[in-house]
Amino acid sequence: QVQLVESGGGLVQPGGSLRLSCAASTNIFSFYDMGWYRQAPGKQREFVALITRGSTTNYADSVKGRFTISRDNLKKTVYLQMNSLKPEDTAVYYCNANFGADGGWGQGTQVTVSS
């Protein structure tokens, strides 16, 4: 079972940037599709970004052009570079891994965008 640990969240001003990291504990990291999701208080968890095992990427329309997902298979880490942050980006951000029946979620990291 894959274990995921997110880091890099925090408080940032509107227009600022953050880079989230998700470190995975698995011997087959390169086989997983990796994604970022977020959940704001009182709202449903929503898709943010995906990077497949082949490094194909996909983004929610709300973050397209501002966020970039990437992965380093040697470090077994997936990243989410967040630029031009807006208050509506405030949420707990969760890392997701999926490889057929094997997958999981991280514990989440809080991102707060506020003046």
pLDDT score, position 19: 98
Confidence of residue 45 (pLDDT cuts 50, 70, 90): very high
For the stretch 57-74, pLDDT in tens is: 999 999 999 999 999 999
For residues 101 and 71, give the distance between their C-alpha atoms in angstroms, rounded to a whole number: 21
Mean pLDDT of 29-45: 97
Are residues 52 and 32 in contact, defined by beta-carbon separation less than 8 angstroms? no
**pLDDT over 90 (residue 93):** yes
- Averaged over 41-58, what is the pLDDT? 97
Contacts of 48 (CB under 8 A, 6+ apart): 35, 36, 37, 38, 59, 60, 63, 67, 80, 93
pLDDT confidence of residue 102: 86
Residue 1 has pLDDT above 90, yes or no: no
Percentage of the chain surpassing pLDDT 90? 97
Q: 84 and 15 in contact (C-beta within 8 Å)?
A: yes
Model confidence band, residue 104 (pLDDT cutoffs 50, 70, 90): very high
Residue 42 half-sphere exposure, CB side, CA atoms within 13 Å? 0
